A = this chain, B = another copy of it.
């Protein structure tokens, strides 16, 4: 009974029963609970089931195809708050860019019923909006498997073919002193490419990222027009940003 066998049996059991617990599985698979746990962790990070305390649950089949490996759930409340604010900025008929950040991903749920067009390089965003009223346009190019997104030269060329009223983007780091920074060159250049083609750029940035710096500085603060963050940002940071002439919503 190797991993592949166990995996198949686990998924099958979860699918049939809706949920299972570790003890049961260990018994069924004739193996230790420790091994079952390890299997469940692996299957959960692959998005094939939901891990629960003491077992696992079936994941709703509709949305699992591209789902982020639970990363999207990190600081979900703050991110949802930010996205709610962002959604209020959107008007019928808008054409908007959305990039591949985990915050931006959560914007999907708030725009499902809007009659707008979305241009994105994020596969999870596409998967999510596949069952919505939104018209979706996917940026083409090389697929970055880790980020579940499209990056590279062709992608940037593709972006240059479009023009949007608004863009909603994430960023890895932002500071008054150094501006915007990123963990990856790829993401930085997509951000730049989108900003060039957009009338009004919104930066969605949860408060934990304010005044942090990542290794790659790629643009001044003037790249964006509006910064949307949450209410847990420190008051002095907020006022400093406002004093620096930044339009900040929270």
Write the residues of chain A forming the contact surface with B, with a CB cutoff of 8 angstroms.
2-5, 8, 11, 15, 19, 46, 48, 50, 52-55, 57, 61-62, 64-69, 123-124, 126-127, 130-131, 135-143, 145, 148, 150, 154-155, 158, 161
Contacts and interface: CB of A to CB of B under 8 A. Distances in A.
A109 to B, nearest CB: 14
A65 B68 contact: yes
Quick one: copies of this chain in the complex? 2
A150 B130 contact: no
Contacts of A158: 140, 154, 158
Nearest to A59: B66
B48 A64 contact: yes
Contact of A140 (B8, B11, B65, B150): B150
A2 B52 contact: yes
A148 B135 contact: no
A138 B141 contact: yes
